[in-house]
Amino acid sequence: MNRMLYASLILAMTLLGGLAFPVGRLGMEGASPFLLMAVRFAVAGAGMALATARRPQPRGCHSWLRLAVIGVCNCAGVMGCAYYSMHWITSGESAILTFVNPLLVIVLGTAFLGARYGAKQWIGVLIGLLGVAATFGTHFQVQPGTFIGLLGALFFAASTLLIKRWGGAYDSFVMTAYQMIFGSIALFVLSLTSESPHLTFDGTTIGSLLWLILMNSVVQFTIWTYLLRNSDPARTSAFMFLAPFFGVLGGWAIMGERLHWYVGAGGVLIGIGIFLVNWQPKPRTQSRILPAER
């Protein structure tokens, strides 16, 4: 891939990914979080599915099931947790927790894919985790939003590995469309069972929803899927530390959230950790047959 194109796509993806948090928090002033996300993904997914109807479609139950798993993890899991966590923490803190994803990729890759990493990568994991703790400063308190945000990061890491492993069998745009549709179904169920769903049709809420649908659900998701399929996912994930910085700055500019020095310090530590984890040659995998390859 051309370097200029790669850099442009990385910048666009991380900027949009960071801004999704304060824009979504703004939309939550007139809508419940799960319903807001469900409508976002349902509208965007349906539109993209219609637009890609003539592209190669998934075939067989097994293929559709894999798409459903990716959709539940990547849409319902990641963004559902991220937005629900904002009941307790700021949009900037939620962004930082969600984009701990690259640090978790190394852990999951080691545990389930047989990847081998050196001392620098594991040091990076420790530094990144220290950065997460530093983000909340000396007033750090264990609260539901903290765990929910980290759960979103775990879903993010899992979906990253699944897209890399299974994504080659799908058209990028078709895959983006249907994972959003499956994710929206899960979010509608969560909304009906765990919150009092409501959606206010005012200018702020609708404006936020349109931004999330067009810029995040369509543009950002397509870029992310394309990069995972056409580049080294470890190298691409190494740049994701930019997203929480955009999220923190966006929270300050859009929501008036305060910029604390310890949030910046935590973000720097997370960035260093992610750099050490991912800015390395492609990790070796053990020479064994994985279950899906038998």
Residues 44-85: tens digit of each pLDDT? 999 999 999 999 998 889 999 999 999 999 889 988 898 888
Tell me how far CA of residue 100 lies from CA of 66, 78, 129, 165, 235, in angstroms. Answer: 24, 12, 8, 20, 15
pTM of the model: 0.75
Exposure of 141 by Cβ count < 10 A (0-12 exposed, 13-18 middle, 19+ buried)?
A: exposed
pLDDT at 125: 73
Residues 21, 250 contacting (CB under 8 angstroms): yes
Return d(Cα 220, Cα 232) in angstroms, integer. 18
Domain that holds residue 269: 3-293
Most confident range (mean pLDDT) of 21-35, 142-156, 236-250 is: 21-35
* Rg, the chain, Cα only: 18
- Mean pLDDT in residue range 120-142: 70
The confidence band for 182, taking pLDDT boundaries of 50, 70 and 90, is very high
Tell me how far CA of residue 260 lies from CA of 39, 147, 257, 279, in angstroms. Answer: 33, 21, 9, 28
pLDDT in tens, 95-130: 878 877 777 777 776 766 666 667 777 787 778 777
Pick from 278, 279, 277, 270: nearest CA to 136:
270
Better-predicted residue by pLDDT, 184 or 268: 184
- Counting the structural domains of the chain, the total is 1
- Mean pLDDT in residue range 194-218: 89
Cβ partners under 8 Å of residue 235, min gap 6: 278, 279
CA atoms within 13 A on the CB side of 161: 20
Exposure of 262 by Cβ count < 10 A (0-12 exposed, 13-18 middle, 19+ buried)?
A: middle
Residues 153, 159 contacting (CB under 8 angstroms): no
Return d(Cα 72, Cα 21) in angstroms, integer. 19
- Rounded to the nearest integer, the mean pLDDT of the chain is 80
Residue 279 confidence (pLDDT) above 70: no
Tokens at residue 18, please?
Answer: 């960071």
